[in-house]
Each structure stands twice: as structure tokens, then as C-alpha cells.
Amino acid sequence: MSMPLLEVEDLRVAFPGRDGPVEVVRGASFSLGRERLGIVGESGSGKSLTGRSILRLLRPPGKVSVGRMQFDGQDLTTLSERRMRALRGARISMVMQDPKFSLNPVMTVGDQIAEALTLHDRGSTRRQRRQHVIEMLDKVRINDPDRVAALYPHEVSGGMGQRVMIAMMLIPEPDLLIADEPTSALDVSVQASVMDLIDTLIRENGMGLILISHDLGLVSRYCDRILVMNAGKVVEECAAGALDQAVHPYTRGLLAAVPQMNETRPFLPVLDRTAWEGT
């Protein structure tokens, strides 16, 4: 592999608790090229915190410590807050779970996308930006982009809102997209189209993707490589196609616990957490 896009070594996130700090991410390490990496885990596994730590978006009292975190040759740990702001959006973007909370309710969709553009590209004229926004909305397969650009966030559906978010995140043409549960607030039929869209755009632009999700099926469908996280640690790393060779009992338990469409088991196997947590 050529030089990796992102390298993270020994990432730790701690929150203060009653009896001293509690580590929620306990030494996660991974690297990623211009490929699609999935991070899977259940709630409390630290997968979302991992995503936020890369962008240094974690708010106090959360504390991040990391052995090494490099993005395209730059050391993210020592970068000034100003340089970091320039990096966010322009080179690394993030799509969050619920478009309702991520979009500004008093700005039209078009203006918000245009703003994402102006923050990183001051040279263009108003008309050029407008043109660019419409093209982008068209690219995320919104019919009638002129009309949609004039709408406010509450006037668009969940699926369309998420497309708008994606348009907003991709318009500065970043190198890496972090998608944190991008479809879990959406209906199944919309889920597939939003994921297909992200997938196509990632491939077209040759970007890297980190897809954070609780859904093993989704991740195995849309990623090249999968990290399975449990209790703040990466317990398994494998190619998406090789999930059947997963060795860690947690991964195997997780896979078996999903009911199947042609389900014949009278009862679902339940994770025996004592097997590896020792509690």
C-alpha cells in the first residue's frame, strides 16, 4: 500500500467519573488509505468517539490522548486550532446521524451548501457558487434542485435532508468522509439509496470513507475492511468479504444474534459477555 491517508495509533478517550477518569476508548489503532473502512460496534463501544476524535471534535470533559494521528503526512495532534478548522470540511468531512439536528433550521438548504463552499473557496463569484450548489444537489440525485435549494430544512424529508447533508459535506471535495450512522434515522428503502449515493461519490472522487455503524450487514455491504469495536477496543479487523472467518467470540456472537429473513432457529443465541470481558 502507498502512503496511508490516515494513521491512528493507540487512541484513548477518557471521561472523568466519580472514581477517577473512565476510559471509553482504550487504545484503538488503525490506518486507512483511499479505501472504505467500516467501524462496527454496539452502543458504548466507543466507535462514535473514535470518529469525533479524528476531527478533534470532542468536547470537554472528554480527554483524548493518542500515540500518533497523522492525516496525509500532517500530524493532527499538534495542528493549531486554526489549521484544524481549515482541515475540517475542506479535507475531512463528517456526516452525522440525524439531518434534523445537523442543519441550521433558519437557513435555506441552498444557502447552507453555499456557505460550506465559501468557507473553503473564497475566490468564486456568487453566481458560480450558486451554479456549483445546483450541480451538487443534482449529483446527490435530488430532482428539481432549483426548488429544493430554496427550501428550509423542516420542509424536506429525512432522506432528502441526509442527501443535502452529503452534498454539503462533499462540495469542498474532501479526501476523507467520516459517516457516523448516516442512515439509521432513515427508512430501509431510503437507507439503501443514500448508502449507494455515498458509495458512488466516494468511488468517483477516489476518497477515503470511514463508515461508523451498529449494522454489520450495512458495513459489510459498503466497506472494504471492517473494524469491530467492543468496550473501547478493536477486537477484530478483517476484510469485509472475510467476515465468515471472524475469530473473536464477540464478532461471531454479534453475527449470530441477528435474526434472519429465513429464520428457523427457535431462539437466538445470546452473547455471553463473560467470555471475554471477565466481569
Partner 1 sequence: MSAIALVNLTIGYGGDPVVHDLTLDVAGGESFALVGESGSGKSTVLKAIAGLAPDWHGTIEVLGTARGRRPDRAFAQHCQMVFQDPYGSLHPRKTIDDTLSEPLAIHGLSNRAERVVDMLRAVGLDQRFRFRFPHQLSGGQRQRVAIARALMLEPRVLLLDEPTSALDVSVQAEILNLLKRLRTEQKLTYLLVTHNLHVVAFLCDRLAVMRHGRMVELASVETLKSGQFQHPYARELYAASGGPSTEAASALR
Contacting partner 1 (CB under 8 A), which of 106, 188, 247, 279?
188
255 binds partner 1 (CB under 8 A): yes
Contacting partner 1 (CB under 8 A), which of 60, 73, 266, 278?
266
Minimum distance from residue 108 beta carbon to partner 1 (Å): 24
* Interface region with partner 1, contact rule CB under 8 A, candidates 101-109, 140-148, 166-174, 257-265: 257-265
38 binds partner 1 (CB under 8 A): no
Site for partner 1 in 87-146 (CB under 8 A): none
Closest CA to 186 of 60, 106, 97: 97
- Cell reading at 45: 463501544
269 binds partner 1 (CB under 8 A): yes
Residue nearer to partner 1 on the CB measure, 174 or 232: 232
Contacting partner 1 (CB under 8 A), which of 3, 16, 22, 42?
42
Residue nearer to partner 1 on the CB measure, 105 or 259: 259
Residue nearer to partner 1 on the CB measure, 3 or 268: 268
CA distance 8 to 55: 12
Count of other CB atoms within 10 angstroms of residue 152: 15
CB 247 within 8 A of CB 236: yes
Helix 158-170 and helix 188-205, axial crossing angle in degrees, nearest 10: 10
Contacting partner 1 (CB under 8 A), which of 78, 82, 267, 278?
267
* Interface region with partner 1, contact rule CB under 8 A, candidates 59-67, 68-76, 200-208, 268-276: 268-276
221 binds partner 1 (CB under 8 A): yes
237 binds partner 1 (CB under 8 A): no
35, 176, 213, 224, 268 from 199: Cα distances, Å: 11, 13, 15, 11, 32
19 binds partner 1 (CB under 8 A): no
**Which H or E element spans position 236?**
strand 233-239
Closest CA to 248 of 50, 8, 41: 41
Residue nearer to partner 1 on the CB measure, 216 or 234: 216
Residue 156, phi then psi, degrees to nearest 5: -110, 155
Residue nearer to partner 1 on the CB measure, 102 or 191: 191
23, 228, 233 from 254: Cα distances, Å: 23, 10, 15
Residue at grid coordinates 472528554: 62
* Interface region with partner 1, contact rule CB under 8 A, candidates 14-22, 144-152, 163-171, 241-249: 241-249
Contacting partner 1 (CB under 8 A), which of 2, 143, 189, 274?
189
The angle at the Cα of 83, spanning 75 to 29, to the nearest 5 degrees, equals 30
81 binds partner 1 (CB under 8 A): no
Closest CA to 51 of 61, 40, 260: 40
Provide the binding-site residues for partner 1, judged by CB under 8 A. Answer: 42-43, 158, 187-192, 214, 216-217, 220-221, 241, 243-244, 252-263, 265-271
